Amino acid sequence: WYPDGCGNIGADYHLLCDTEKAWGIVLESLAAAGILITIFLICSLFFLICKVQDNSKRHMISVYFFFLLGTLGVFGLTFAFIIKLNDRTRPTRFFLFGVIFALCFSCLLTHACNLNKLVRGRKPFSWRVLLLLLVSFALVQVVISIEYLVTMLVNQREVFLTMSREDTNKDFVMLLIYVLFLMALTFLVSMFTFCGPYKSWKRHGAHIFVTVLFSIAIWVVWITMLIKGNTDLDKITWDDPVVAIALVSNGWIFLIMYIVPEICFLTAPLKLEDYPPENDFCQPKFIKQATGVDNRAYTQDEIVQATRKDLKVIN
């Protein structure tokens, strides 16, 4: 027997096509749409690189790129929760969920740290330092996930693959403690971006603040439902839908609240009031050229004076 809309496929994949349990089809449609938009934004980012005049924003392009890769992973991981839990999807869920979100929140935290310097008129991080911070933040969760999977699959493989529902959910949430720490730290650091004399950069801090605020709300709901809510309501079958909904919702929050506004402002014209008068570390090339044109008269005077001195020496 196969559900309506499904052909000759395994029972683990029925939710991908079952028209009676439409939540799987709805979520995979939203996830697929998110994947297409994310790929389009990645292509747009490469197209806009040469049009960015502000060095501070140009250095952030690599961070945006990794954030989009993480968002792409969030939407792609949704399918692992629509497909039923089995020997293949269990390790995928346990490893990728934390790593992907750690990458996304590491990008947000790195950006927030950079903004804290810009709103106070200080020199921002170089793109190398930004990448180093990003990788350092995300690498911790990679190590945690690898250690957990190696331990469970090598030493306790049978226990891991036959864990009860309650133990699976608890281990899954415990594995995400570092991601929760990253989320809280990013939220705190983003609040400090509202303090500083250079107001234009605060708009970018607001993007991060709102994104993390909505993400925290989503995570509180899905963790509560997964650990206690579904059990109290006697809705054990809601475990996978709850996490899948959280993934899709968080992915769209990342797109709408953060990356789309950031890309829209990426090529915005530079305002000199965004930077301290004595610092030109972020001014685009055409401004530096204009400054050179303004000082051309002084340069010509210096040349004339030097020529007169040479003539006196010869005479």
Task: Map out the domains of the chain as residue ranges.
Answer: 11-277, 284-315
Ramachandran bin of 196, using left for φ above 0, alpha for ψ from -120 to 50, beta for the remaining angles: left
Q: Which residue has the tokens 């969760």?
A: 141
Q: Output the CA–CA distances (angstroms, integers) from residue 92 to 16, 38, 39, 221, 283, in the order listed.
A: 18, 21, 22, 22, 45
pTM for the model: 0.84
| Residues in the chain, pLDDT under 50 | 278-292, 294, 296-299, 303-304, 310-311, 313-315
Give the model confidence (pLDDT) of 262-306 as tens digits: 998 887 776 655 566 544 444 444 434 444 454 544 445 554 455
Residue 168's pLDDT is what?
87
Residue 274's pLDDT is what?
59
CB 177 within 8 A of CB 74: no
Residue 74's pLDDT is what?
97
Residue 263's pLDDT is what?
92
Question: In angstroms, how far is CA 23 from the centroid of its own chain?
Answer: 26
Q: Which residue has the tokens 């947000």?
A: 108
Buried b (16+ CB within 10 A) or exposed e, 32-55: eebbebbeebbeebeebeeebbbb
Give the model confidence (pLDDT) of 45-79 as tens digits: 989 888 888 888 888 999 999 999 999 999 999 99
CA 175-176-182 angle, 5° bins: 140
CATH fold label, 11-277: Rhopdopsin 7-helix transmembrane proteins (1.20.1070)
For residue 129, which amino acid is it?
V
Tokens standing for residue 141: 């969760």
Q: How far apart are CA 259 and CA 265, in angstroms?
A: 10
Q: Output the CA–CA distances (angstroms, integers) from residue 57 to 28, 137, 311, in the order listed.
A: 34, 21, 50
